[in-house]
Chains A and B, each alone.
Chain A
Amino acid sequence: MTAAAFVAGAALGWIGVGLSFAACVAGDGWKIGPICWLGTLTASAIVLVLLASYAPRIATRAVLPLCVAAAVICLGLI
């Protein structure tokens, strides 16, 4: 992976994290939203770790569709 691709990927990732925060706040309000956001991040990180360790093939293949689906859900909520 080139440095440029790495930077681009990281930037997209951080935008995604920001987007999910916006979606949670839009969905649940400022009080509950941030808590829901942290919980969702924890749950998805655990799923990611398990997938990457036990089914790395599925993990790499599922990344793109999942990202698109998540972005659509986030934008829909906002």
Chain B
Amino acid sequence: MKDGFRQSMAWLHTWSGLLVCWILFLVFSAGTASYFRNEITLWMKPELHRAAAGPVTQADAAAHAMRTLQERGAHAPRWFITLPDERSPATRIRWTNPTPPGEARGARARPNSEMLDPATGDVLSAARETRGGEFFYRLHFDLHYMPALWARWIIGFCAMFMLVAIISGIITHKRIFKDFFTFRPRKGQRSWLDAHNATAVLALPYHLMITYTGLVTLMFMYMPWGAQVAYNGDRETFFAEAFPNTAQKSRAAGETAPLTAITPLLQQASLHWQGGRAALITVNHPGDKNATISIVRAGGRDLTHARPSMLFNGVSGALISTAGDDIKAASETRGVLYGLHIAHFAGPLLRMLFFLSGLAGCAMVATGALLWAVKERQKHAKALAQGGRAGFGLRLVEGLNIGAIAGLPIAFATYFWANRLLPVQLEQRPEIEIRCFFIAWAVAALLAQLRPTRRMWQLQLWTGAALFAGIPLLNVATTHSHLGVTLLHGEGPWAVAGFDLIVLALGAGLGYAAWTLGRNRRPARRTQKGVAPNDIPDQPVREAA
């Protein structure tokens, strides 16, 4: 090796980071938003806000849902009831219509789904259709407009590069303890390095955890060989042991029998789980003699992702079996790593801390990408000062930086604006909302490639700031659960008020970044046009999400 160990690690860090940083920025942003995916979904369905205000016991909600399903899905082979909790206040029921005779068996079962008011069991029919926060959750590992399998390989590849970049970054960072709290603003390249170090080091436990556990969530896809060898290719046994559940294939007897009441079963389950709450109820063959009812526990104060479940006879109410009470070590390890990634166990405060660390992750990726461009520009400073053009690579990176770091917030905000402005009864509404997201992003990215200049940074940052900060105002104009109601009158769900406040803060952050960029511009104008290395904003786009 010609260079020292640290130099080679620095090289590795630079290139493993730069190559995938724009996709990582997308993954970090969408993943960070996913911490609040239920809240985002609720916000995007303003018709549900009223129902969200009053608390209802689970037993009542379940009983109401069962009654509604008796009416609506009497002949369905299976019912699903997702019970309300603090984060998603409406009961959700799903059932499949039986295949009509004459159609081939195995033809696509047609699923039905409704949201219910938990207090009455009435269908909340007017709720607009949207993918809500689910879109961001899927986006962060399935991307969009491509087969999910390809996307997961791409994301896995990028995540592996991220892990390499984190570890090589730690080795490269010589003064990791000395510079722990160091941030020197208004010092050009130095400040970018400081900001990159600070956002990386201060949230390092989070970055390491989220990258590693992210790979773990899809490990059976990336590295199936261990399980293949150990189980001799018997995938079914492997999955049954890796993901214990009470699902079993049973056949309908063809004789009718009334369903047992759900309330005693919920009580029994709660007792068995020492106060743990139920989250999902599945009824197989309702109304048949062979009916079964399975109850899955909610994620509680446990780290693990695995959820225990119980299976009851649907007619007599007798307990048939339990699963997942006593999980083997390997399964438990994976469950905990998975659980850490999705943080279902987190209460409001911890969820906010996860969100904050996620933003730090966005800022780390963004500052890293900017740092490369700033350094590269420094190398060619003389040639550029004499009026030379930036090289192709530098132009490309600067364009991609603007398109990702300033363009992505525009896309996020456009998605929310589209949710409020598109007609409620529009055909294929969810898909059109998503299309708005990508159109906005494509326009921003294209403009950035055409003119990767400081003005473009300013323009896009201001646009993002205006769109984000405008969301609470838009809410005033289009809904009855805006900040004036949720915050001033103390009515309505807190999640909606929180959403408005967070987007307002993000808008303010973007606005501050744009403003700093404009302020630093004036003295620099005398020397040269375009992006000069020493007058890029001191404040990184910390709030970019």
Point out residues on A near B: beta carbons under 8 Å.
28-29, 31-32, 35-36, 38-40, 42-43, 45-46, 48-50, 52-54
Contacts and interface: CB of A to CB of B under 8 A. Distances in A.
Contacts of A29: 301
Contact of A39 (B181, B182, B345, B354): B354
Interface in B354-371: 354, 356-357, 360
Nearest to B182: A49
Nearest to A52: B181
Which 8 pairs of residues, A with B, have the shortest CB-CB distance?
A: A39-B353, A45-B202, A53-B183, A42-B203, A38-B205, A49-B183, A53-B185, A49-B181
Given A31-B303, A32-B345, A42 B183 contact: no
B176 to A, nearest CB: 13
Interface in B179-193: 180-185
B198 interface: yes
Given A32-B350, A43-B353, A49-B181, A38 B206 contact: yes
A28 B180 CA distance: 28
18 contacts: A36-B349, A36-B353, A38-B205, A39-B357, A40-B353, A42-B202, A42-B205, A42-B206, A42-B356, A42-B357, A42-B360, A46-B202, A46-B203, A49-B198, A52-B181, A52-B183, A53-B185, A54-B185
A36 B544 CA distance: 24
A10 to B, nearest CB: 12
Given A39-B353, A49-B181, A31 B360 contact: no
Contacts of A36: 349-350, 353
B329 to A, nearest CB: 16
B302 interface: yes
Nearest to B202: A45
B194 to A, nearest CB: 9
Contacts of B340: 35
B181 A45 contact: yes
Contacts of B203: 42, 46
A45 B179 CA distance: 13
Given A31-B303, A32-B345, A32-B350, A39 B206 contact: yes
Contacts of A53: 183-185
Nearest to B191: A53
Contacts, number: 59
B502 to A, nearest CB: 15
Contacts of B350: 28, 32, 35-36, 39
A46 B354 CA distance: 14
Contacts of A39: 206, 350, 353-354, 356-357
Contacts of A35: 303, 340, 350
Interface string B30-51: 0000000000000000000000
A28 B300 CA distance: 12
Interface in B324-358: 340, 345-346, 349-350, 353-354, 356-357
B301 A46 contact: no
Contact of B301 (A31, A49, A52, A54): A31
Contacts of B199: 46
A46 to B, nearest CB: 6
B179 to A, nearest CB: 11
Contacts of B202: 42, 45-46, 49
A66 to B, nearest CB: 15
B426 to A, nearest CB: 40
Contacts of B354: 39
Contacts of B183: 49-50, 52-53
Contacts of A43: 353, 356-357
A46 B357 CA distance: 10
Contacts of B185: 53-54
A38 B210 CA distance: 13
B301 A32 contact: yes
A54 to B, nearest CB: 7
Contacts of A50: 183
A37 B444 CA distance: 39
B505 to A, nearest CB: 14
Contact of B356 (A28, A46, A49): A46
Interface in B5-58: none
Nearest to A53: B183
Contacts of A31: 301-303, 345
Contacts of A52: 181, 183
A58 to B, nearest CB: 15
B486 to A, nearest CB: 25
Contacts of B301: 29, 31-32
Nearest to A50: B183
B343 to A, nearest CB: 9
Interface in B205-251: 205-206
Interface in B293-308: 301-303
A49 B354 CA distance: 19
A46 B355 CA distance: 13
Interface in B143-190: 180-185
Contacts of B345: 31-32
